[in-house]
């Protein structure tokens, strides 16, 4: 599986935008970029995913570099509830056999 690299931790002030980077230099053409987050003592929560184009949903935006070797998850206005570990994961769309391989993720701390 192609590997991703994320910073171990980041801090951000409440109500400010947060940009969480992810490097995936060995990504292949069929790999989707997925982001999940895990709040303390909970199961992971799906955030967003994309293939080539930037994506927006109610939770966040995903900016994908033109060469697809990196991506950035954008939280437009961080709240205390956004404090979590954020995982960037590559998945080959194989309709039935995709496995998620969780790395260490980025622990996001929100400062009130």
Partner 1 sequence: GAVVSQHPSWVICKSGTSVKIECRSLDFQATTMFWYRQFPKQSLMLMATSNEGSKATYEQGVEKDKFLINHASLTLSTLTVTSAHPEDSSFYICSARGGAQGETQYFGPGTRLLVL
Pairing of strands 106-111, 9-13: parallel
Contact between 105 and partner 1 per CB under 8 A:
yes
Applying CB under 8 A, the span of 19-27, 63-71, 72-80, 99-107 interacting with partner 1 comes to: 99-107
Cα distances (Å, whole numbers) of residue 77 to 28, 81, 101, 109: 32, 11, 28, 13
97 DSSP β-pair partners:
none
Stretch of residues binding partner 1 (CB under 8 A), selected from 9-17, 18-26, 34-42, 58-66:
34-42
- 44 in contact with partner 1 (CB under 8 A): yes
User: Is the Cα dihedral 35, 18, 76, 67 positive or negative?
Assistant: negative
How many CB atoms are closer than 10 A to CB 2?
A: 15
Shortest Cβ 37–partner 1 spacing (Å): 11
Is 104 among the residues that bind partner 1 (CB under 8 A)? yes
Q: Which is nearer to partner 1, 13 or 93 (CB)?
A: 93
From the CB of residue 101, how many other CB atoms can be counted at a distance below 10 Å?
12
> Out of 1, 14, 80, 103, which residue is the one contacting partner 1 (CB under 8 A)?
103
Phi, psi values for residue 82, rounded to 5°: -85, -5
Binding residues vs partner 1 (CB under 8 A)? 32, 34, 36, 38, 41-46, 49, 87, 91, 93-105
């Amino acid at each position: 599986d192609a590997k991703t690299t994320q910073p171990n931790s980041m801090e951000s002030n409440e109500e400010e935008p947060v940009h969480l980077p992810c490097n995936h230099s060995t990504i292949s053409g069929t790999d989707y970029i997925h982001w999940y987050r895990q709040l303390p003592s909970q199961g992971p929560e799906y955030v967003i995913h994309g293939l080539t184009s930037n994506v927006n949903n109610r939770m966040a935006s995903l900016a994908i570099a033109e060469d697809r070797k990196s991506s950035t998850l954008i939280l437009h206005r961080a709240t205390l509830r956004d404090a979590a570990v954020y995982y960037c994961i590559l998945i080959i769309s194989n309709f039935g056999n995709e496995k998620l391989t969780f790395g260490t993720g980025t622990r996001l701390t929100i400062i009130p």
